[in-house]
Each structure stands twice: as structure tokens, then as C-alpha cells.
Structure 1
Amino acid sequence: MALAVLVLAACGEEAPAPQQRVDLGEPRPAAPEVMAVSPDTSEATWSVDEDGQSIEFGNLGEGPLLTLACRLGGEEPQMAVIRHAAARPGLSALFPVIGNGMRSRFMVDAVLEENEWRWEGVLPADDPQLDVFTGTRALTATLPGRGMLEIRGSRIPGEFVTWCRAGGETVAVEAEEGEDAE
């Protein structure tokens, strides 16, 4: 019987655990997560910028969606791959471009240029990843959360990359055997 009394006493109510309160301050609205819809690029084309140092892909009368810029000021030419899409300071992303029989992944950072937060990656002009632009087939370029660009095949990006790799010099085309050189 004594054992039963001890067991019943042990089953009694325990003292409530002390509660802690944490002040979280004023509630803030969550940052909106923007999931961009892929832009319509069915009418988009490549064009050479006024300064001749970059080419832009976009719809006529609208801002560019993608820019390739050649930077010739240093010892070796560099190429900037710029995706014009909303970016937040301090972020980085992988920007895959697929086409012409290859896949390239460009590391891009959020940069503030020309009053626009955009995604930009800079690499040496002779970097093999840029070969994705040198063919004439269609490309897809996807920035996570900012949609996919469908880019029709064109010779313009390839010619531009070749021009930049040559340091901005025009490359002479040699006549093939049997052709008359004028």
C-alpha cells in the first residue's frame, strides 16, 4: 500500500514551466517574391548599339532584354553578358545559355548601372563559354525567377564575339581558292 501511495504522489501535477516572451517588433510585410513571366521574344532581334561596342537583343521600341558588351580598355578584351531584369543588391546567380550544341553557365551579379539594377557577368573575351553565341542556331537563356529568353538564330552574336576577341579589329576574310580577289 505504501508503494501505491508513492506512485500516486509521483503522478501529481508538475509546476508549470516558465514561459519566455520574445518581442519581435512591429510586423513587417514579407518582401514580394517576383516571378517574372518569360517575355515575348517572337519579334525580338539583335541590334548594334550606337557606340558599336555592344549588341542588344530585344523588341523594337522597348529596352534591351540581353546585351553583349565588348570592353577593350584593358590588356585583354573582355565581354560582359548582361541580362536586363530586376535584380536586388548583393545577389548572384547562374545564368545558363543553351544553344549551338553547347551549354554555358555565366556567373552574374546584381549591379547598378545606368540607373538600373541588372544582372551582369564579365569574363575574358576568349573564354570558351562565349562560344555558345558564335553559332547561328537558336538560343535559350534562363535567369531563375526572371523568365526565359527564346532567341532566334542569328549570325550577329557570333560576328560580335569574333570582333571582340580580335581586339575590336575588323578581321579580313580571305578569298577561297578559285575565287578572284579584288
Structure 2
Amino acid sequence: MRRTLPLFLVLLAACDRQPEPPRDDVQRVSLEDMEPRQPLADPSPDTSAASWSVAANGQAIRFGNEGEPPLLTLACMVNDEPPEMVIIRHARALPGQGALFPVLGNGMTSRFMVDATLGDNEWHWEARLPAEDPQLDVFAGPRDLVATLPGRGSLEIAGSRIPGEFLEWCRVGGQTPQVENDPSEPAGEPAA
């Protein structure tokens, strides 16, 4: 009890102190005078008229609205061994950022790790995977896709056979499939 009495007196004396007067070097700001904060997240782009197109070099397909920059690109690095698929989400990115980019569709969900990458004079989000990676099968079917990048909105992609055909082309190293003739048919004559 003797030890707690001095501590109690110190605490009691501290309660008796008067608050310090406001300092002159502190700036007071009214909340009504503040400008509204800009949202950090981007809205989802309107993709109702968007479609897939083939890049001029034939080694990429791009999804977007006609006459505007692409929103999503799938590129194939056919000369890599094994061939690689590059997924690019064209959206604002800053150096050093990384994110999880889920794509849902064709009966599955794939989650791609994307990093901020500088390419074609823009910072965008990019993932590189071997073309055989089973996560890429999300692009293999003809159904609708939803690709969401946190803070950068969702892409609603209408079903198309183009991504699946492109993926298959990439997986075989950019080779055109050979059509074999039936040996029982004479060469050059159409089958009846």
C-alpha cells in the first residue's frame, strides 16, 4: 500500500493540469472548404460493342472497342521454348505494383498474378505463362468471360471462339495444322 500511494499522488496531480493553449503555428481547416476526394478506383469500361481483333503481326489478339486502345491483349511468344502466352490488361499501373487478376468463364476461374510492366509507351498489367499452363483454359471455350482487375474495373467479354483458337495456335508453336488426305482417295479429286 505504501508503494502505491506515491504513484496515486502523481496520477492525481496529472489530472489537475490545465490544457495547453492552442499554438499559433497550427493551421485550422474547415471540412466544408475541402474539395471532394477523387475516387481511387476506375469504373468498369463499357464493353457492350467491344470485340476481338488480330494484331498486324498475327501473334496477338486484342479485345476492345473499335477505334480505341485495347482493353485486353493475349499475345503468343511463339519463338520461346516452350511458347509463352502473355496476358496484358491495359489499365493504369504504377512501377512496382502487383495484383491478382481473376478471369471467370467457360466453367472455370483462373487467377493470374500480374505485375506493372512498361511496354508500348504505357504502364500496364502483365502476366507471362507457358502456353500449356492449364489456367489458360479459361480462354479455351466460346462462353462469356469476366476479367476483373481490382481498382481498375471488370471487363465483360462476350463469348467468342477467337481466344480459344488463338490459344491452341500458340500451344502448337504457331504452326498451322496440317490436313491429312485420306489414302483411299485419289489426290486432287474431291470426295463424293
State the shift of 1:52 in Å.
0.3
Selected match of 1:55 from 54, 61, 65: 61
Partners of 1:88 and 1:49 lie apart in 2 by 26
Paired position in structure 1 for 2:161:
155
State the shift of 1:72 in Å.
1.7
Determine if the alignment matches structure 1 residue 116 to structure 2 residue 122.
yes
Residue correspondence of structure 1 range 1-182 to structure 2 within 5 A: 10=9, 13-14=13-14, 34-172=40-178
TM-score (norm 1): 0.80
Partners of 1:160 and 1:12 lie apart in 2 by 78
Question: What residue identity is the alignment partner of 1:112?
Answer: L
For structure 2, the 5+ residue unaligned runs are 18-36, 183-189
Question: What residue identity is the alignment partner of 1:104?
Answer: S
State the shift of 1:181 in Å.
5.5
Which deviations, in whole Å up to 9, do the C-alpha atoms of 1:114-166 show, x marking residues without a partner? 11000000000000000000100000000000000000000000000000000
Q: Contact between 1:99 and 1:138, CA under 8 Å: does it hold in 2? A: yes
State the shift of 1:75 in Å.
1.6
Question: What residue identity is the alignment partner of 1:60?
Answer: E
State the shift of 1:58 in Å.
0.2
- Describe the SS at the equivalent of 2:116: strand
CA distance 1:141–1:12, shift in 2 (3 Å):
closer
Q: Alignment identity in percent? A: 61
State the shift of 1:12 in Å.
5.9
Partners of 2:50 and 2:42 lie apart in 1 by 18
Paired position in structure 2 for 1:26:
none
Runs of 4+ in 1 over 3 A off after TM superposition: 9-12, 172-176
Which deviations, in whole Å up to 9, do the C-alpha atoms of 1:74-128 show, x marking residues without a partner? 2210000000000011011010000000000000000011110000000000000
CA distance 1:12–1:84, shift in 2 (3 Å):
closer
Structure 1 range deviating more: 78-87 or 165-174: 165-174
State the shift of 1:171 in Å.
1.8
Q: Figure out how many residues of one structure are paired with residues of the other and give that number.
A: 161
CA distance 1:181–1:102, shift in 2 (3 Å):
farther
